[in-house]
Amino acid sequence: MSLRLGDTAPNFTAQTTEGEINFYDFIGDGWGILFSHPADFTPVCTTELGKTALLQEEFAKRNVKVLAVSIDPLDKHFKWRKDINETQGCSVGFPIIADADRNVATLYDMIHPNASATATVRSLFVIGPDKLVKLMIIYPASTGRNFYEVLRVVDSLQLTAGYSVATPADWKSGEDVIVVPAVSTEDAIKKFPKGVKVVKPYLRYTPQPNL
Ligand code: BEZ
């Protein structure tokens, strides 16, 4: 059965470049990102892990722990990590799981047989502090992910978890947000003291409430 949004993220224990990790313990009370790669020593994956390493401070600011998965063994990961650091000008500090037995890939349905019988596709899961799946994005092997988009969604998830708002198309942190339909305009005016702009009865904006 594949995972769906709102499902409990499966826990696991795995060997990683940072030692044995229990996923739930690793995330603790914060947020987690688990993302898979087709294979070590492949060009797109090299840029993706490098970009993630360069954005490590941004993930840390948001209390997000990052964990990469590849079905290659640890000794390959260590050699590849050196290449990533050298070619991408970074220092990979997050763990890379050696999922040789495909336990994690199977739990998270990361192998899509019609894309490849053996390699994982580019799956990315955002897991909340409640250990529920908040975001799933799946890219083909030939397309590197946009990690600014991942950060943008995390900003939206963290904001909307605490306030009765949603974020509009292309929203970026700092921009106005949308009052959710479940809140009446009368209540919205009380809830959001920075003001509510009513464009249509169902389309109401307010300044980002957590700034
Ligand atoms: C890559 O990571 O570069 C890659 C992996 C599999 C197919 C195509 C590209």
If one counts every other C-beta atom within 10 angstroms of the C-beta of residue 161, the result is 12
Average pLDDT over residues 94-107: 97
* Residue-by-residue DSSP string for 35-83: EE-S-TT-HHHHHHHHHHHHTHHHHHHTTEEEEEEESS-HHHHHHHHHH
Dihedral pair phi/psi, residue 156, rounded to 5°? -65, -45
Q: How many domains does the chain have?
A: 2
Structural domain includes residue 82: yes
Residues 22 and 123 in one domain: yes
Give 200's strand partners. Answer: 203
Structural domain includes residue 158: no
Average pLDDT over residues 73-94: 98
Give 21's strand partners. Answer: 14
Residues 137 and 177 in one domain: no
Residue of 37, 41, 44 to test ligand 1 pocket, by largest number of atoms within 8 Å of CB: 44
Average pLDDT over residues 180-188: 98
Residues 25 and 66 in one domain: yes
Give 1's strand partners. Answer: none
Q: What is the CATH number of the domain that holds 190?
A: 3.30.1020.10
pLDDT tens across 15-58, in order?
A: 999 999 999 999 999 999 999 999 999 999 999 999 999 999 99
90 is known as an active-site residue: no
Average pLDDT over residues 135-161: 97
Structural domain includes residue 152: no
Residue 1 confidence (pLDDT): 62
Return d(Cα 81, Cα 104) in angstroms, integer. Answer: 20
Residue with tokens 């954005």: 55
Residue with tokens 């079905």: 71
Contact at 8 Å (CB) between 122 and 139? yes
Residue 54 confidence (pLDDT): 98
Ligand 1 close to Cβ of residue 42 (< 6 A):
yes
pLDDT tens across 79-88, in order?
A: 999 999 999 9
pTM of the model: 0.96
